[in-house]
Amino acid sequence: MTTILTPTARRATSLAGLCDGAVHLPGDAGYDAARMPWNVAIDQRPAAVALPRTVTDVQDLVRAAAAAGLRVAPQSSGHNAGPLVARGLDDVVLVRTERMRGVTIDAARRIARVEGGALWLDATEPAADHGLAALHGSSPDVGIAGYSLGGGIGWYARKLGLAANSLTAVELVTADGEHVRADAAQNVELFWALRGGGGSFGVVTALEFRLYPIETAYAGMLVWDRSAAERVLRRWADWAPEAPDEVTTSFRFLNVPPLPAVPEPLRGRSLAVIDGAVLGSDEQACSMLALLRGLGPEIDTFGRVPARTLTRLHLDPEGPTPAVSDSTLLGELGDPTIDTLLEQVGPGCTTSLLSTELRQLGGALGRAPEGHGALATIDAAYVAFAVAIAATPELAVQGELDARHVTAALEPWSTGRSYLNFAEKAVDARTGWDEPTWTQLKGIRSAYDPDDRFLANHRVPRLFEDGRVTD
């Protein structure tokens, strides 16, 4: 079968031969595999896909794309690809950094250095060998770059804050093909923007971030049948606002698939689950959790565990997975909010959603640390996230409807802002920051990418576009 290239795709042929031949064009044997994001329900079809190994490869790609009149979209693991695809990829070179996964741990300085395509598991394992932990997310195969540039909420977040504000340096290729380092001493404004401002500023080739002396945590999950969901959720909602910063938890309505890989006691069941981690002694942790344990969970796995195991605590699916989702930030979780949530996904409800989650915020996430980046805090009490498996187009449609029904019902208690790492479809990116931060991000984007070379999933525009001041 012959693939007819569009005029734009023909221009992309000028990139062939770069990256030692790891540039794939539509019709190439490797194109479909190379363009596949983590969420395989997303169909991204760029003008070309490039897989660099080195900084020089990235520089050559950016310069060649500019010469061909093409834009560049950086991508590591391919999480959160939906908003990127919605912006259109016909004139875009997708730069997949998945072959750049080197990691170095400086245990004496408690600093990790990772290449731009590294996943969390690449860093957490060697860090744990030195008794250190990173502010990783709830899944081991999420890309460190995208997670960190967008903020980063993990199991230590209420004590140690956003992962973005533990970054100590970012190296990237800018729109002119130059390789620069941004840290507290050089390219300071760019460094500020990269810490929570997203991926609009260049192709990240390396990040450096602080590690913390955490060898173990008191972590696990409490599980009840869905029939107990109301009393569990109401108690958790009373407990969470008063919980000390040392504890970070989530509450989930979880519909477990009837798969052979799932343990028999859980297979095919609808559950209420609280999971999380406590930084403190066993005695302190038991005291913090006593009110929740008093509800008599069917399963209680909380206990002292190696910190390295927390990347898989949440049981997030690993590897390519088809999914649809929606999210919102909530300012409160009072009785009316709980009543509404129970009407949507509580006992007796029929829904296609795999999980409807409330992730506990507050603590350090609500306090701006000294020297913070563009995302200093998340001004909300909870982030709500509803997700469905989209194994077929029909399931995708139903799952998206069900997820949107949940967030729409919760809208009266929404803050009106977004946590963009959880926004897996196109939203108004302005909702990710306050107005002064948004204006400053646009100014920095204008300075570092005046020709609009880079395309991010949640795009920060330049100050002036099409002869007008941008919103």
What is 231-268 written as a DSSP string? HHHHHHHHHGGGS-TTEEEEEEEEE----TTS-TTTTT
CB contact set of 299 (below 8 Å; sequence gap of 6+): 221, 222, 223, 265
Judge if 263 and 391 occupy the same domain: yes
Distances (CA, A) of 199 to 94, 122, 133, 466: 13, 21, 24, 22
Judge if 221 and 83 occupy the same domain: no
Q: Answer yes or no: is 2 within a domain.
A: no
Q: Answer yes or no: is 346 within a domain.
A: yes
- Both structure tokens of 91: 């004139």
- Both structure tokens of 281: 């002694």
User: d(Cα 274, Cα 220) in Å, to the nearest integer?
Assistant: 9
User: d(Cα 50, Cα 203) in Å, to the nearest integer?
Assistant: 12
Q: Answer yes or no: is 378 within a domain.
A: yes
The total number of structural domains in the chain stands at: 2
Burial (CB count <10 Å: 0-12, 13-18, 19+), residue 391:
middle
| Contact call for residues 168 and 178 (beta carbons, < 8 A) | no
User: d(Cα 94, Cα 224) in Å, to the nearest integer?
Assistant: 44
What is the CB neighbour count within 10 angstroms for residue 462? 18
| Contact call for residues 384 and 330 (beta carbons, < 8 A) | yes
Q: Answer yes or no: is 62 within a domain.
A: yes
Judge if 240 and 369 occupy the same domain: yes
Q: Answer yes or no: is 230 within a domain.
A: yes
**Residue-by-residue pLDDT tens, the chain, 471 positions:** 455 666 777 899 999 999 999 999 999 999 999 999 999 999 999 999 999 999 999 999 999 999 999 999 999 999 999 999 999 999 999 999 999 999 999 999 999 999 999 999 999 999 999 999 999 999 999 999 999 999 999 999 999 999 999 999 999 999 999 999 999 999 999 999 999 999 999 999 999 999 999 999 999 999 999 999 999 999 999 999 999 999 999 999 999 988 887 888 888 999 999 999 999 999 999 999 999 999 999 999 999 999 999 999 999 988 889 999 999 999 999 999 999 999 999 999 999 999 999 999 999 999 999 999 999 999 999 999 999 999 999 999 999 999 999 999 999 999 999 999 999 999 999 999 999 999 999 999 999 999 999 999 999 999 998 778 898
Q: What's the CA dihedral at 341, 343, 347, 348 to 10 degrees?
A: -150
User: d(Cα 410, Cα 429) in Å, to the nearest integer?
Assistant: 20
Q: Looking at residue 264, what is its pLDDT?
A: 82
Judge if 240 and 91 occupy the same domain: no
CATH number of 375's domain? 3.40.462.20
User: d(Cα 271, Cα 255) in Å, to the nearest integer?
Assistant: 6
User: d(Cα 83, Cα 87) in Å, to the nearest integer?
Assistant: 7
User: d(Cα 162, Cα 379) in Å, to the nearest integer?
Assistant: 12
Q: Answer yes or no: is 14 within a domain.
A: yes
Q: Looking at residue 4, what is its pLDDT?
A: 62
Q: Answer yes or no: is 435 within a domain.
A: no
Nearest to 323 by CA among 425, 391, 398: 391
pTM (2 decimals)? 0.96
Q: Looking at residue 5, what is its pLDDT?
A: 63
Q: Answer yes or no: is 239 within a domain.
A: yes
CB contact set of 205 (below 8 Å; sequence gap of 6+): 55, 58, 97, 100, 115, 116, 171, 172, 173, 179
Enclosing domain of residue 399 = 216-422
User: d(Cα 355, Cα 40) in Å, to the nearest integer?
Assistant: 18
Q: Looking at residue 378, what is its pLDDT?
A: 97
Judge if 221 and 92 occupy the same domain: no
Q: Could you say which of 96, 119, 136 is where a domain stops? A: 96
User: d(Cα 128, Cα 229) in Å, to the nearest integer?
Assistant: 35
CB contact set of 228 (below 8 Å; sequence gap of 6+): 272, 295
Nearest to 122 by CA among 311, 253, 281, 252: 311
**Order of strands, edge to edge, in the sheet holding 92-96?**
23-24, 48-50, 92-96, 71-75
Judge if 86 and 235 occupy the same domain: no
CA 93-94-97 angle, 5° bins: 130
Q: For the chain, how long is the longest CA-to-CA vector? A: 68
CATH number of 41's domain? 3.30.465.10
User: d(Cα 296, Cα 290) in Å, to the nearest integer?
Assistant: 10
Q: Looking at residue 404, what is its pLDDT?
A: 97
Judge if 273 and 402 occupy the same domain: yes
